[in-house]
Amino acid sequence: MINKIFERGDEQMLPTTNELGYYEIRLESIGGLGANVAGKILAEAGVVGSGLNALNFASYGSEKKGSPVKSYIRFAPKEKQIRINSPVVQPHLVAIFHENMVNTNPVTQGLGKDGIVILNTSKSVDEARDFLKLASGTVATVDAIRIALEVKTRINMVMLGAIVRMLGFISLDSVKEIVKQTFEKKYPQTIASNMAGLEAGYNQVEFKFFEYDGKYQYVEYQEERRPMGYKNAPIGGTIVEYANTITKNNITSRIGKIPVFIKEKCINCGLCETTCPDYVFVWDRIVENGKPKMINIGLDYQYCKGCLRCVDICPTGALIEGIEREYDMEKISAKHDFDIYEKWYKDGEKR
């Protein structure tokens, strides 16, 4: 059940709107995947190519790779002005740029019973529906990471092609033209691969409509309430509690690639440990020739964001670049033992 195109000259009529007369989209992503740029291109293509009014903006916390990003797009008929500039809480379409976000963020909240969700995944449509726990609506899947690696483009180009296909009221040609105008001066070498990514996303997206069957329930939008704000924050922004990263989880920061550890090639030089920004490497203490020695056990991928600095610095090839989905992450992951670290620390203090 995909929205049909209704033509009126050069202007496209929206397939459905909310009570304010808008068609609304929310892009769920992390920093570095290009959702903000994709939202801008999509909105501009709607105005230039489809004769619609459009509004786009993004929201994010710290402006860095791996942090959550939301991009919002609103469309309205040409004769109707868009007079609100607030986050999209009841989208008609949600596009999820990183499938691991499903485990850590309520990415489908507010999506209506006939809504569309596009997921970047290698899963089948039926598997994706269960993974998303979607009550009803259209589920679309596209393996954007694989396609981006194959055609040497960015994930956002592949997702943009899939979004255009599922919307139905924006032409792929108009998006291509906007992409050319956006990148041809500064990054002309990317035009061909970007076009290939758009076309692949458009042609390879798979979708299926699910009627409500009671298997899952609708997820209502809930405004995020933070425990501390301007009314109750300590004076001067004082940090009153020390922090730790034991519960930190960086899996949503990875964009398809991981460092893979080949233990047989490791000489325990520690260069990977010194270059890693997130204390990913797990070490053990042994006694060799009567002297204590630290040996590298592997990586605790809970803390790995996939920056691959360790791959670049490893002198022996014990760390190589790998495609995450080709590995069983539970099997290849070592685990930090924080209790033994505390014991080592205390033993060191006694000396």
Q: Does this chain's domain 6-210 share its CATH topology with 251-350?
A: no
Question: What's this model's pTM, rounded to 2 decimal places?
Answer: 0.80
Domains of the chain, residue spans: 6-210, 251-350
* Separation between Cα atoms, residue 66 and residue 248, nearest integer Å: 13
Confidence of residue 130 (pLDDT cuts 50, 70, 90): very high
Each residue's pLDDT tens digit, 204-252: 999 999 999 999 999 998 877 777 777 888 888 777 766 666 677 888 7
DSSP 231: T
Each residue's pLDDT tens digit, 86-118: 999 999 999 999 988 888 788 999 998 999 999
* Separation between Cα atoms, residue 71 and residue 31, nearest integer Å: 11
Q: What is the pLDDT of residue 240?
A: 72
* Separation between Cα atoms, residue 27 and residue 103, nearest integer Å: 16
pLDDT at 314 over 90: yes
Q: What is the pLDDT of residue 159?
A: 97
In contact, 203 and 164? CB cutoff 8 Å: no
Contact residues for 351 (Cβ-Cβ < 8 A; gap 6+): none
pLDDT at 310 over 90: yes
> How far is CA 291 from each of CA 154, 286, 294, 344, rounded to the nearest angstrom?
49, 8, 10, 15
Confidence of residue 61 (pLDDT cuts 50, 70, 90): low
When mean pLDDT is compared across 154-158, 230-234, 325-329, the lowest value belongs to 230-234
Q: Does domain 251-350 have CATH number 3.30.70.20?
A: yes
Give the CATH number of domain 6-210; options: 3.40.920.10, 3.40.50.150, 3.40.50.880, 1.20.140.10: 3.40.920.10
